[in-house]
């Protein structure tokens, strides 16, 4: 079984952190992968930085810019995953990548290279369900899953998307882009219930999940939690220390404590 | 996607609703000032010494650009679909002004996203939009220009789809936008074709996203004797990195929900294009233009900043018509083509935008 599928199936309190690869440097990304694994993450969502990240709010946009300034590309991220695996880190990895870098690399070549490096799945936020045939087929050919996103506005599409979901079904908690939020959209419960009725895989909720109470609430309801911007914000806070080899381990420890505080009940 | 499906359904109904179409035509006539004249540019033609040159005068429309055709169409559609707020992106400010104008006319709440850099470059248009009652929101992400304003408008729209309609200004974005904008712009070519005594031998328009060009070309696509030419922004030359010649120099990619030609780097990151015209510096191009290029139905050529300025001066001094620099790109390409043709032949130019905003910058030249 694919590592993402196994992790989603075997953990009823699924915790999926998101970071941008190369933020602030590739070396730090490898360290962070280890820290997140040790903090109890079940799947790592690794963002490939993009010049025009339409689905992302300001926090992740800024992280992508930091990473792009370091020269990070899809190739670099694939190479980073290879290093993560070489360092003995086992956590299942899903690449969160906009479609254009994949097309430029060559869809087939990208999926193949990533799979060989140790990637377990892909999430392509700007590739709608109606257009994802080739990507899905290629992912499956290389033993990867293609994670699907559904939003409260997906309406009757929710059923169709949920039915064919692989690994876990990523439910967008509210309208709009990624980012830290205080409250969830009021329609969340109805929408998630509808999604879970049709889904053959576990659900994970993301976009705006930023507090221990959010994570706890989702876990109590039996859903996984994806935390992105809030963790990326923490990485931003320690950027200078993370870049300094002498202070890095101290910063990593701070981040670890923070991430653990998100999931400890 | 749901919002796009809703829009597609709403558009489909509207385009077969006689009352809707009648209202659209009436507003174009009584408010926007259609039909626009066709001007024979006699002295300019004589200077070139080749084909006769005709100008389709979209520059004479209310707000000074073809953008109002589309803004009226989409605002009427928003009203028909029960949306009370509209949001739009703008580069140079023409589409922003057109949108703010129809928002004022129909009492719709209006937000315009504009790159912070463009707001600085186009202060007068920012002032106009605000005077019209629109809120101009600076896009501070990325390169702080048109593509980022579009990103921000899309981000805002997906957060507010319930009561908000997104008015895209060009034939770009996800379906049904390129189709819808074409339908609201094709009045340009339909009229021009009627006004010409006989079919022109060549039709020329400038392309940024490509809305005035599609509006002009659509009526002539099925006329095999008519050569179609699109003038892209060649900036400082397409051999330099500073241009916006998406079709001449770009390659296949996805931007704002369209698979098209794109100016991008080797890793698929979008590169901010350059043009002297803030109306042409979009890194993508309407997907229909990408198709027409591949089919070789339309020929796209790059015009440099210097060639555009030269054409602007020539048209102004021979005809007393001062076009915006984006439209001067079309004039420049038309002059090149006309000079190789004979006096019995004719060239039709879409003069899409009047000069109102950037003139002061030419003092530097």
Report which secondary-structure segment, H or E, holds A27. Answer: helix A26-38
Q: What is the pLDDT of residue A253?
A: 98
3-state helix, strand, coil split of chain A in percent (to 5) is: 50, 15, 35
Bridge-based pairing of strands B258-262 and B251-255 is antiparallel
CA distance B278 to B114: 12
Side-by-side strand order, sheet with A169-172 = A145-146, A121-123, A93-96, A44-47, A15-20, A224-227, A203-206, A169-172, A148-150
Nearest residue, CB atoms, A54 vs list B1, B155, B269: B155
Which residues of A participate in catalysis according to the annotation?
Answer: 45, 56
- Using a CB-CB distance cutoff of 8 angstroms, which residues of chain B are in contact with residue A160? none
Burial class (CB in 10 A: 0-12, 13-18, 19+), B129: buried
Mutation pick from B155, B156, B271 vs chain A, by most beta carbons of A within 10 Å, is B155
Q: What is the pLDDT of residue B364?
A: 53
Whole-prediction pTM value? 0.93
CA distance B208 to B276: 12
Q: What is the pLDDT of residue A185?
A: 66
CB neighbours (10 Å) of residue B116? 17
Q: What is the pLDDT of residue B39?
A: 98
Q: What is the pLDDT of residue A156?
A: 81
Cis peptide before A207 (omega within 30 of 0): no
Note the pLDDT tens digit of each residue in A214-265.
999 999 999 999 999 999 999 999 999 999 999 999 999 999 999 999 998 6
Residue A148 touches partner B, C-beta closer than 8 Å: no
- Using a CB-CB distance cutoff of 8 angstroms, which residues of chain B are in contact with residue A74? 267-268
Torsion angles phi and psi, residue B252, rounded to 5: -60, 135
- Using a CB-CB distance cutoff of 8 angstroms, which residues of chain A are in contact with residue B252? 103
Contact A177 B142 (CB under 8 A): no
- Tell me the sheet residues that pair with B270: B264
Asked whether residue A168 carries a pLDDT value surpassing 90, the answer given is: yes
Query: Cα–Cα distances in Å, from A56 out to A32, A52, A61, A203, B202?
Result: 21, 9, 6, 21, 45
Q: What is the pLDDT of residue A265?
A: 63
> Tokens 């998101």 appear where?
A18
Count how many residues are written for chain B: 365
Nearest residue, CB atoms, A176 vs list B2, B155, B268: B155
Side-by-side strand order, sheet with B202-206 = B38-40, B52-57, B346-351, B202-206, B227-235, B298-304
CA distance B137 to B145: 12
Note the pLDDT tens digit of each residue in B104-158.
999 999 999 999 989 988 889 999 999 999 999 999 988 888 999 999 999 999 8
Nearest residue, CB atoms, A154 vs list B2, B266, B271: B2
Tell me what the mean pLDDT of segment B220-239 comes to.
Answer: 97
């Amino acid at each position: 079984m694919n590592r993402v599928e196994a992790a989603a199936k075997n953990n009823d309190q699924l915790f999926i952190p998101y970071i941008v690869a190369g933020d602030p440097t590739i070396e730090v990304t490898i360290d962070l992968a280890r820290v997140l694994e040790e903090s109890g993450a079940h799947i790592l969502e690794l963002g490939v930085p993009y010049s025009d990240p339409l689905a992302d709010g300001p926090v992740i946009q800024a992280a992508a810019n930091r990473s792009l300034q370091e020269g990070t590309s899809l190739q670099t991220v694939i190479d980073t995953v290879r290093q993560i695996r070489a360092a003995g880190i086992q956590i299942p990895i899903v690449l969160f990548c906009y479609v254009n870098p994949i097309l430029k690399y060559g869809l087939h070549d990208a999926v193949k290279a990533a799979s060989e490096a140790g990637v377990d799945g892909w999430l392509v936020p700007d590739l709608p369900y109606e257009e994802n045939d080739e990507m899905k087929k290629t992912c499956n050919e290389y033993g990867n899953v293609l994670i699907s996103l559904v939003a409260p506005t997906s309406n009757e599409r929710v059923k169709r998307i949920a039915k064919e979901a692989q690994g876990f079904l990523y439910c967008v908690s509210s309208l709009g882009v990624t980012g830290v939020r205080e409250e969830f959209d009021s329609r969340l419960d109805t929408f998630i219930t509808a999604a879970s009725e049709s889904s053959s895989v576990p659900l994970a909720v993301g976009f705006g999940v930023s507090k221990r109470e959010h994570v706890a609430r989702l876990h109590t309801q039996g859903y996984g939690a994806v935390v992105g911007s809030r963790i990326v914000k923490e990485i931003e806070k320690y950027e200078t220390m993370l870049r300094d080899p002498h202070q890095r381990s101290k910063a990593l420890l701070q981040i670890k404590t923070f991430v653990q505080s998100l999931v400890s009940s | 996607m749901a919002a796009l499906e809703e829009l597609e359904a709403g558009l489909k109904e509207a385009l077969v609703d006689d009352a809707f179409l009648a209202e659209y035509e009436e507003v174009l006539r009584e408010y926007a000032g259609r039909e626009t004249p066709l001007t024979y540019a006699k002295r300019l033609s004589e200077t070139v010494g080749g084909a006769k040159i005709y100008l389709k005068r979209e520059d004479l429309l209310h707000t000074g650009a073809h953008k109002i055709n589309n803004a009226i169409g989409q605002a009427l559609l928003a009203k028909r679909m029960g949306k009370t707020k509209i949001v739009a992106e703008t580069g140079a400010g023409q589409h922003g002004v057109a949108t703010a104008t129809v928002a004022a006319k129909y009492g719709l709440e209006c937000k315009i996203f504009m790159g912070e850099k463009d707001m600085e470059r186009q202060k007068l248009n920012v002032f106009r939009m605000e005077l019209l009652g629109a809120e101009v929101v600076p896009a501070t992400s990325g390169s702080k220009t048109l593509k980022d304003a579009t990103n921000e408008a899309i981000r805002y729209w997906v957060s507010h789809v319930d009561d908000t309609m997104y008015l895209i200004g060009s034939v770009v974005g996800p379906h049904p936008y390129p189709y819808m904008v074409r339908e609201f712009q094709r009045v340009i070519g339909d009229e021009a074709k009627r006004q010409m005594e006989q079919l022109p031998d060549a039709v020329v328009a400038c392309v940024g996203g490509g809305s005035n060009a599609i509006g002009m070309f659509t009526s002539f696509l099925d006329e095999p004797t008519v050569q179609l030419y699109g003038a892209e922004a060649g900036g400082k030359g397409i051999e330099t990195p500073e241009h916006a010649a998406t079709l001449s120099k770009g390659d296949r990619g996805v931007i704002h929900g369209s698979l098209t030609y794109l100016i991008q780097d080797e890793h698929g990151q979008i590169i901010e294009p350059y043009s002297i015209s803030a109306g042409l510096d979009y890194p993508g191009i309407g997907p229909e233009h990408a198709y027409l290029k591949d089919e070789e139905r339309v020929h796209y050529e790059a015009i440099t900043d210097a060639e555009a300025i030269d054409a602007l001066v020539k048209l102004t001094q021979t005809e007393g018509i001062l076009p915006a620099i984006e439209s001067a790109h079309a004039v420049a390409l038309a002059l090149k083509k006309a000079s190789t043709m004979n006096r019995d032949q004719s060239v039709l130019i879409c003069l899409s935008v009047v000069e109102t905003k950037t003139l002061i910058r030419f003092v530097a030249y």
